[in-house]
């Protein structure tokens, strides 16, 4: 039952479709648009017609080990969406974020809204607002993450994680190669493009065996600088990943490199508001994670990550080690407990934390 949560990212559609075959609702909401599991980390509608309702709720407690300890309860995410098929060869997918602790405060906002033409499995076409097809951890749905938080390098160097555009993708769990390539505006989620430049982003996965994959990602783009006297901004992202899932063990790893000229953003991952910094910078980071499926619905997990926000600076590495355990009450309900130990190379500060998250999917 709980092993569904440690399958490769590309199998997320199987995880969700099992749940959705058991729970089928009709929703009278005027929300329409698209889907594809590989690029988005989303579920796929299985019914021939009608609307599939889905979503998940993540309630969370955080205890911050600062000089003066702080703690808080809140919603990490509270998401609801609809999806379905339209005869013939089209599907739609819409997802809202309703958590009052996200960037827009107490009001809900649109995350994904896209339409897919899916007649050909080797070349599907999606258009709308979607998650960028870059990297392993970003492509993992938030409800399927093995630790509560994504790695800092992913949050920093893949932001904005969603954008408006068009995407071509193909392949499946049984093919040697899966791919996705997208042309997007560049500024991010539901932001009007202020110039004629577009970002190009893509991901390729090679699956030589059912139990492993290796992959690579890229992103390149250009935009107008806020200061017109400084010329255009340029950005480059390169990523490499692997995953091995065998004998109840899951091991994942990812490395991301970023190069920006003109200006660059700091933060902004997973719905946050990025800050714009003028200047050139090269950044990089990685993570490696391992977990084990026990016979008792428990998954002990350990993850090491690091991030360097300026490769030209010395003693600049930030490191985080996460130790945790996941417990699955059933296919839809999960409890996660994580302890994050953070270490800064330049000057260590007290910023460790303990997190407890209870998630339910529907």
What is the percentage of the chain residues whose pLDDT exceeds 70?
85
Radius of gyration of the chain (CA): 20
Cis peptide before 281 (omega within 30 of 0): no
The Cα–Cα gap between 114 and 305 comes to 33
Cα 193-197-202 angle, rounded to 5 deg = 100
For the residues 111-140, what does the mean pLDDT come to?
96
pLDDT at 340: 98
Mapping DSSP to helix (H, G, I), strand (E, B) and coil, where does residue 157 land? helix
**Using a CB cutoff of 8 Å and minimum separation of 24, what contacts does 61-68 make?**
61/355, 61/356, 61/357, 62/353, 62/354, 62/355, 63/353, 63/354, 63/355, 64/351, 64/352, 64/353, 65/350, 65/351, 65/352, 65/353, 65/354, 66/350, 66/351, 67/350
CA-to-CA distance for 182 and 225, rounded, in angstroms? 23
pLDDT in tens, 47-66: 556 789 999 999 999 999 99
Instruction: Give the pLDDT confidence score for residue 268 in this predicted structure.
Output: 73
Residue with tokens 């995350």: 111
- State which H helix or E strand residue 230 sits in: none
255-298 residue pLDDT tens? 999 999 998 888 877 766 778 888 899 999 999 999 999 999 99
Q: Which residue has the higher pLDDT, 267 or 249?
A: 249
The CA distance from 340 to 222, in Å, is: 35
CA nearest neighbour of 255 among 216, 285, 277: 285
Alpha helix locations (H) across the chain? 12-22, 37-40, 136-139, 152-157
Cβ atoms within 10 Å, residue 105: 9
27, pLDDT greater than 90? no
> pTM for the whole thing?
0.85
Q: With 50 as the cut, is the pLDDT of residue 331 above it?
A: yes
**pLDDT tens-digit profile of 177-213?**
999 999 999 998 888 888 899 999 999 999 999 999 9
* Alpha-carbon distance values, 219 to 140, 158, 235, 327 (Å): 18, 9, 8, 36
- What's the number of CA atoms in the CB half-sphere (13 Å) around residue 265? 20
What gap in Å lies between CA 319 and CA 212, rounded to an integer?
27
* Contact of 123 with 149, CB cutoff 8 Å: no
Q: Which two tokens stand for residue 337?
A: 């407990």
Residue 77 pLDDT greater than 60, yes or no: yes
The CATH superfamily holding the domain 2-361 is Porin (2.40.160.10)
What is the average per-residue pLDDT within 116-140?
A: 96
Measured between alpha carbons, how far is 25 from 20 in angstroms, rounded to an integer?
9
Contacts of 99 (CB under 8 A, 6+ apart): 74, 75, 76, 77, 78, 79
Report residue 33 as tokens.
Answer: 């648009």
Half-sphere exposure of 204 (CA within 13 A, CB side): 7
């Amino acid at each position: 039952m709980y092993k569904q949560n440690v399958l490769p990212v590309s199998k997320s559609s199987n995880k969700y479709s099992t749940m959705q075959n058991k729970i089928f609702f009709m929703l009278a909401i005027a929300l329409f648009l698209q889907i594809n599991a590989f690029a988005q980390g989303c579920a796929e509608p299985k019914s021939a017609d009608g609307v599939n309702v889905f979503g998940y709720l993540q309630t969370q407690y955080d205890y911050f080990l600062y000089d003066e300890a702080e703690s808080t309860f809140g919603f990490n995410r509270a998401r609801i969406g609809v999806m379905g098929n339209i005869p013939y060869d089209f599907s739609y997918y819409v997802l809202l974020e309703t958590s009052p602790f996200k960037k827009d405060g107490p009001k809900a906002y649109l995350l994904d809204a896209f339409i897919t033409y899916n007649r050909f499995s080797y070349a599907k076409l999606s258009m709308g607002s979607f998650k960028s097809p870059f990297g392993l951890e970003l492509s993992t749905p938030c409800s399927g993450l093995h630790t509560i938080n994504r790695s800092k390098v992913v949050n920093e160097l893949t932001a904005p994680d969603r954008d408006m555009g068009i995407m071509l993708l193909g392949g499946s769990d049984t093919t040697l190669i899966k791919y996705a390539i997208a042309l997007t505006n560049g500024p991010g989620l539901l932001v009007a493009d202020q110039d004629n430049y577009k970002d190009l982003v893509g991901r390729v996965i090679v699956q030589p065996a059912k139990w492993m994959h290796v992959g690579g990602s890229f992103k390149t783009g250009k935009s107008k600088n806020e200061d017109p006297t400084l010329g255009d901004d340029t950005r480059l992202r390169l990523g490499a990943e692997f995953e091995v899932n065998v004998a109840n063990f899951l091991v994942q790893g990812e490395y991301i490199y970023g190069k920006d000229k003109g200006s660059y953003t700091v933060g902004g991952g997973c719905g946050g508001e990025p800050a714009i910094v003028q200047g050139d910078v090269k950044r990089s980071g990685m993570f490696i994670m391992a977990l084990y499926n026990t016979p008792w619905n428990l998954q002990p997990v350990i993850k090491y990550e690091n991030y360097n926000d300026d490769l030209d600076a010395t003693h600049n590495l930030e490191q985080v080690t996460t130790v945790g355990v996941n417990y699955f009450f059933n296919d839809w309900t999960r409890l996660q407990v994580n302890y994050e130990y953070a270490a800064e190379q330049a000057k260590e500060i007290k910023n460790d934390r303990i997190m407890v998250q209870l998630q339910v999917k529907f």
